[in-house]
Amino acid sequence: MSPRRIDTGGRRVDRDRGIRFTFDGKPYSGHPGDTLASALLANGVTLFGRSFKYHRPRGVLTAGVDEPNALVTVLKGNIREPNIPATQLEIYDGLTVVSQNRFPSLSFDIGAANQLGGKLLGAGFYYKTFMGPVVGPLKGTRFWMFCEYFIRRAAGLGRAGYDKDSARYERTNAFCDVLVVGSGPAGLMAAKAAAQSGKRVILAELEPRFGGSANWSSETIDGMPAADWAQATIAELRERKNVRLLPRTTVWGYYDDNMLAALERVSDHKRDAAKGEPRHRYWSIRPGAVVLATGAFERPLVFPGNDRPGVMLAGAAERYAAEFGVLPGRKIAVFANNDGAYGTALALKKSGAEIVAIVDVRRQVSEAAHAAALSTGGEFLAGHAVVATEGGTKLSGVKVQIFDAATGALSGDPRSIDADCLIVSGGWSPVIHLASQAGVSPQWDDDRQAFLPPKPTQNWIGAGAFNGSFSTAAALSEGDAAGRQAAGETDGPAEELPNVDAPALQSNPAPVFEIRTSGKAFVDYQHDVTAEDVRLAHREGFVSVEHLKRYTTLGMATDQGKTSNVPGLAIMAEALGKPIPDVGTTRFRAPFAPVSIGSLAAERYGDLKPERLTPMHDWHIEHGATMYSAGLWYRPMIYGHSGETIEQAYVREAKAVREKAGIVDVSTLGKIAVQGPDAAEFLDRVYTNMFSTLAVGKARYGLMLREDGFVMDDGTTWRLGENDFLMTTTTANAGKVMQHLEYFLDVVWPDLKVHLTSVTDQWAGAAIGGPKAREILAACVTGTAVDNEAMPFMGIVHGEIAGVAVMICRLSFSGEMAFEVYCGAGHGTHVWKALLEAGKPFGLVPYGLEALGTLRIEKGHVTGAEIDGRTTGRDLHLDWMLSKKKPFIGSAMMDREGMTAEDRLQLVGIVSLDNRPLNGGGHIVEQANPEDPANSLGHITAACYSPALGKFIGLALVKGGKSRHGKRAFTSDPLRNRFGPVEIVSHHFFDPEGKRMHG
Amino acid sequence: MLITCPYCGPRDVSEYTYQGDGNRARPDAGSTDNQAWNSYVYDRLNIAGEHHEIWQHSGGCRAHLAVSRNTLTHKVSAVAFARDAGHRKSDRHRKSGGAA
Amino acid sequence: MAEYSALSLLKNAFSGNRDWKPAWRKPDPKPSYDVIIVGGGGHGLSTAYYLAKEHGITNVAVLEKGWLGSGNVGRNTTAVRSNYLLPQNIRFYEHSMKMWENLSHDLNYNVMFSQRGVLNIAHTPAQLDDFARRGNAMRHLGADAHLMTPAEMARRVPGLDVSKSARFPIYGGLMQERAGTARHDAVAWGYARGADRRGVDLLENCEVQGFIKDGDRVVGVNTSRGEIRAKKVAVAVAGSTGHVMRMAGVERMPIESHTLQAFVSESLKPFLDTVVTFGMGHFYMSQSDKGGLVYGGDIEGYNSYAQRGNLPIVEEVMSEMLALFPSLAPVRVLRSWGGVCDMSMDGSPIITTGPLPGMYLNCGWCYGGFKATPASGWCFAHTIAKDQPHHFNAPFTLDRFHRGAVIDDKGQGATPRLH
């Protein structure tokens, strides 16, 4: 087996301890500190996954977050976590991992047959076919959907599970003066400099270990191995109280006003999370300033066979050797367009690998590079290129040919070189994603052949490789300066910068991105986008960078083009004969790397919205109420007796109200205290009817319009004192009405002296109604009379029930003699129980929303089903409430032609003529045609069985409204297959004169 | 996005409710100028750039704020209490409540 | 230009795909056209296509400031449906739906319209009645709709939390089977290619910088590629309507621009075979053919042209997603983006002649413009060609707001952020 664990290197792993895990069911071992990638490589595994389209065998290309190939699914019981890069997955005992996108197995995958399709399956092929016949049974979309069924099954990567994730996700907010993103030499220096100024610093590092490239560099800093310097610096920072270190934390989003979002993988690396420990923690961080020290991603070169397992980025190979003590091969070939890979070759040789060849597209290389090449002992092939790779699911050799970097021409005969690993370096792309999210387009730099960060539009400062400053010395000095600047220090360096001993290798690459010859050469590994696909896009005119991306899917995979964007652009630029920046660059979008959806929901996962419970909630539950969720509230729907259907229960309850008495919890009604010397004036302006004329101790029903003249809400408002009103709103609109009133008071009429307070939660309310209601009150209310004189219709009194102060208003929604009893919320259940106790001899029953709805339908009262934001006062026959004596909100707009048109829907009552139930949402037609429903006149807004009438009735909004009273029509409800005759009647079904409630 | 409430200090956008375009003038309450009412209710400047708008600090002091914000960059350049910002001048709904 | 077919794919594969021609030409602007369409998005391109195809008007240019399809046609969550409440909307969107059903053939371009259904989830009996009202309204106008029980929904949508213990238990749903998703970019490209093949000039990187007027009458535009005159100037720039109309001298419009974010997860094997919407918030999700879960929620709720949103909506959307699909917590969101929506004052669009002589206007699509693309272009082309609306778009006038004849499907009034 080619890759293996070696005796040297491996700072990150604890060789003394072993870890056992499985991959595709096969047991393997590794060490604490290993990633899945390093552990599998150490076990000689080279095949990690299958590509998206062609199902080509793929190995591991990188050692970090930029990995396009080695994606796996982690299994925790039935919980599946798909598409995790093996390079980011820290192993633990018992870790269970499976490969993806293969059937039946990773080494034998039927989907690989797609490779035979080859040129048929080029970029965008699906737009040109699968349309099927124009006529016949497969016309329209049928044929496509037939094909799509198979395409969907072939596409996709990992599989998501269906079981609820049992893990906990958490969110936290953080504030600091300086946030440093990335902890390589630049980030460490920035954090140190900022920390020394005493400022609050957060240092976020996406890897488990701080130090970034220092952890695998062969350079020395201040005379010690770079990794030691990094660990010493971290130890120093750890001691400081003003520094917070966040390992395993990916800063993924840069939002407006310097708001950054980060994901901390708190316990992914553990078999079991500690008690109370979440799986992921989502940080929203508001720093004063940000230091972006996010480094750079190495780029691969594009050449035929560049995706064969065994091809790896040079920096990744160096990293596996230094950090994990894993050599990716025994016989390693190097292919580069810059000096960077030479240092890697030396390091790998030092670790015991044989460097078989160094292939460089440049004919001339720097002296330092030349010297390094010679000391690796490998064959040095300047002015050459790799033109093919050999082997099956594992590299066995490479083919090289003479290459002219200026023209891209190949010459001479290709020859083979035995190798089990090819390390590649195509230059470096600064990781400018966060800066790009925060602002404008990046700038192309010819020397570095890379996009450099744009000018800041938010408060960030860049340092190190992020800026395109690839040397460690530059990283240290830029980091120091950035840290100082971010902390607001303006003086020069306080102390000397550390000394760096590094080879004089230049990482600026030759402008070569692709070796163009026959064979599939991959640009985007994961999405199988080849150089030919890019050229096909060019031929078909998809040349702007966004068209290129969208047509070929370049850069759209889970790695988001981290390794492929620039090579893709370069190939398009060449095809167009334009410089790269003229092709453009896409703006990076959040997130920088994929983020668990659970982390973003955090505490709301499993608990989307708060629950609002009335003070009497527990009583309802204890007494058999079936609860109904209404917005955030829970309200009793029925108090069902055993064996009762919902209909039987509400009919029993409603009947009891009409015959004796019933009580219903109305605590959810919106309640707003409107107080102040101008309160009456204010109400005159917001209601369509007058309130300034209302006597103290009386209540009035009020109607409110929106500015556009449509009905907004209704409710009663009680005048408790000269300057003191209690407004009630419907349950659903409580918040909306409050904001509506506040807006007018604060913005439009600030000269009015009125104070608004939401008191919904301060009052418990119970409505008690029925022929016996007054007697029941008389039996339990003290401190006030409740007779007709003390309490005329709409009168308000104050008294006590069972020792608790109550406020009672005689008003009626049910149409019966009825009262609303309000008391402090904390006493709600006490008063409720006392009322029920007092009502026992009178047959008082609690009733729920269904009975409430029945009683109001019988009375023709409107609710949210009729006040649906599209109805006018006239539509609802509430014209009598539209005062002509004063302007009010909506008065100027309510008479426009569209709102007074003849064909508007108007409120009517309907009675079922076939003695079968009607359905809310059923439509009304003149002639029912179940086969081909048409010509709707309107719809049923609410329906019930009316015990008072002994009929199935409903309210409806119907064209023509009143003019149809007494006429026959049909309900047409194809969705529930309910068709039948109805009679259209007045919406006042029951006691239209209101004798019962007026007593 | 961050809006600095004059009472409460800088607070995240999630604490606020957008109450719309601040460039609209409400006609006098008793005005019968339909065009003016229609324009007030329906027509918007909708500036691509510096935009005057009303926000309510609904998750805080509940004051309404007159905010100048760039709709291209989301940068807030000025915040004042809406009640002080001159909007009332546009409405002369007299305290007497009588129709004009 | 050659027809696309399995045969042409095969033929080209043998020649190494070297013979494919550009999907559309890249012509230089002519000094004048019969019709100029400002805006090379879905609606502008489909308008050009139908002007040529249905009305024989081919001396047409589409002016696009960036690349074709760079607006909301390339930024939406791809749902196609006609499940509206009000008859004006149902008629229009159902017309669109019928066009979708044959669009790939019509364009000779596979727009991948997949009629996998759109399921609106109801969480209370009252909401289900509301949905029934809507579904019945659809059925009375020839659109398909039916109700589903939670048990049926659980079978159709595995992973959906239909448990009674959910914060908002699922009570039922309204399904439109003929609704579904399409490949958004393909729609832009298919119309572009179709219009180009009929002689329309598609002018990319051609930004309108001003309108040329003769008195009140619009007679052309000044662009970054020079002056172009036309007998008729049509504007279809949803997202930038306010900005473009101001250049024409129309200061105020019944429109606010708002940003809507959208999201896509990492690619997964088939998980969701239909489009679902959440009833106790604002959330919708489908799965693309590539395997990404494509989803979104509310607009940001403040005026914005930034194509960029903020975190509160991100958090809200993800929370609502997990309320429906708790097993997706470990799945990862791959990318987010923003589009700028023309939010109209009643939530319905505007397709009309005027408001200036020589001008035609198509705007106000809120965040529902994608599914309208065929009918919008078809109706707009009719309106431009005949100088009067087709009965499908006759209700969608600009003056309906002032007349009080609003088409308010959500019943929210003149508060755009609530539509």
Same domain, yes or no, for C147 and C189?
no
Predicted local confidence at residue B90, as pLDDT: 43
Residue A492 banded pLDDT, cuts 50, 70, 90: low
More confident of the two residues C8 and A853? A853
| Residue C356 within a domain | yes
Predicted local confidence at residue C400, as pLDDT: 96
| Residue B97 within a domain | no
Same domain, yes or no, for C196 and C247?
yes
pLDDT digits (tens, 9 = 90+) for A474-487: 999 999 999 999 99
Across C75-87, average pLDDT: 96
With 70 as the cut, is the pLDDT of residue A552 above it?
yes
Across A261-283, average pLDDT: 95
| Residue C21 within a domain | no
| Residue C108 within a domain | no
Nearest by CB: A707 against B12, B41, B88:
B41
Q: Domain count for chain B, please give it.
A: 1
pLDDT digits (tens, 9 = 90+) for A390-399: 998 899 999 9
Residue B99 banded pLDDT, cuts 50, 70, 90: very low
Across A883-897, average pLDDT: 96
Q: How many CB atoms lie within 10 A of CB A857?
A: 25
CB contact under 8 A, A160 and C267: no
CB contact under 8 A, A83 and C67: no
pLDDT digits (tens, 9 = 90+) for A211-260: 999 999 999 999 999 999 999 999 999 999 999 999 999 999 999 999 99
- Per-domain residue ranges for chain A? 169-296+430-495, 670-758
Secondary structure (DSSP) of A673-706:
EEESTTHHHHHHHHBSS--TTPPTTBEEEEEEE-
Same domain, yes or no, for C251 and C288?
no
| Residue C83 within a domain | no
Distance (Å) from the alpha carbon of A487 to chain B's nearest alpha carbon: 20
Of the ranges A57-61, A168-172, A937-941, C4-8, which one carries the lowest mean pLDDT score?
C4-8
Residue C11 banded pLDDT, cuts 50, 70, 90: confident
Q: Which residue has the tokens 């890979």?
A: A341
d(CA B42, CA C303): 15
| Residue C261 within a domain | yes
Strand order in the sheet with C118-122: A595-596, C332-344, C255-267, C292-303, C283-287, C275-278, C118-122, C172-176, C146-148
Question: Nearest residue on chain C to A740, judged by CA atoms?
Answer: C415
**Domain final position from C342, C371, C390:** C342
- Region class of C411: left (phi > 0), else alpha (psi between -120 and 50), else beta: left
Among B72, B76, B93, B96, pick the best mutation site for testing chain A contact (most A Cβ within 10 A).
B93
Secondary structure (DSSP) of B39-56:
HHHH-B---SSEEEEEEE
Q: Which residue has the tokens 């230089």?
A: C28
Secondary structure (DSSP) of C46-75:
HHHHHHHHHH----EEEE-SSSTT-SGGGT
| Residue C99 within a domain | no
Nearest by CB: A681 against B62, B75, B97:
B97
Residue A830 banded pLDDT, cuts 50, 70, 90: very high
A25 burial (CB, 10 Å; 0-12 / 13-18 / 19+) is exposed
Q: Which range of residues forms the domain containing residue B13?
A: 2-25+35-89
Residues C265 and C322: beta-carbon distance below 8 Å: no
With 80 as the cut, is the pLDDT of residue B100 above it?
no
Residues A634, A640, A644, A650, CA torsion sign? negative
Nearest by CB: A748 against B13, B76, B91:
B91
Predicted local confidence at residue B86, as pLDDT: 59
User: Pairing relation of β-strands A460-462 and A280-292?
Assistant: parallel
Same domain, yes or no, for C262 and C324?
yes
Predicted local confidence at residue C150, as pLDDT: 97
Predicted local confidence at residue A695, as pLDDT: 97
Asked if residue C374 has a cis previous peptide bond (ω within 30° of 0), the answer is no
pLDDT cut 70: percent of chain A above it = 99
d(CA A381, CA A357): 7
d(CA A74, CA A24): 10
Which residues from chain C sit within 8 angstroms of residue B41, using beta carbons? 345, 401, 414
Same domain, yes or no, for C165 and C264?
yes
Q: Which residues contact A902 (CB under 8 A, 6 or more apart)?
A: none
Residues A742 and B62: beta-carbon distance below 8 Å: yes
* Subunit partners of chain A (3 or more CB pairs within 8 A): B, C
**Domain final position from C322, C342, C362:** C342
As assigned by CATH, the class of the A169-296+430-495 domain is alpha beta
Please provide the average confidence, as pLDDT, over all residues in chain A: 95
| Residue B96 within a domain | no
CATH number at residue C289: 3.30.9.10
CATH number of A670-758: 3.30.70.1400
Q: How many CB atoms lie within 10 A of CB A292?
A: 31
pLDDT digits (tens, 9 = 90+) for A295-317: 999 999 999 999 999 999 999 99
Q: Which residue has the tokens 């609710």?
A: A863
Quote the DSSP letter at residue C239.
Answer: T
Same domain, yes or no, for C336 and C360?
no
Same domain, yes or no, for C359 and C400?
yes
Same domain, yes or no, for C233 and C218?
yes
Predicted local confidence at residue B93, as pLDDT: 43
pLDDT digits (tens, 9 = 90+) for B28-60: 999 999 999 999 999 999 999 999 999 999 999
Q: Which range of residues forms the domain containing residue C313?
A: 119-179+256-342
Helix and strand tally (H, E) in chain A? 23, 54
Q: Is A472 helix (H, G, I), strand (E, B) or coil?
A: helix
Q: Domain count for chain C, please give it.
A: 2
CATH number at residue B15: 3.30.2270.10
Same domain, yes or no, for C407 and C263?
no
Please provide the average confidence, as pLDDT, over all residues in chain C: 96
| Residue C107 within a domain | no
Quote the DSSP letter at residue A744.
Answer: I
The values of phi and psi at residue C6, to 5°, are -60, -35
Beta bridge partners of A44: none
**Domain final position from C342, C375, C408:** C342
Q: Which residues 297-326 of chain C have a CB within 8 Å of chain A?
A: 308, 310-311, 314-315, 318-323, 326
pLDDT digits (tens, 9 = 90+) for A673-686: 999 999 999 999 99
| Residue B94 within a domain | no
Q: Which residue has the tokens 């509400």?
A: A650
Predicted local confidence at residue A715, as pLDDT: 96
Strand ranges for A182-325 from DSSP E: 201-204, 220-221, 224-225, 243-246, 249-255, 259-265, 280-292, 296-298, 311-313
Tell me how far apart the terminal alpha carbons of chain C are, to the nearest angstrom. 43
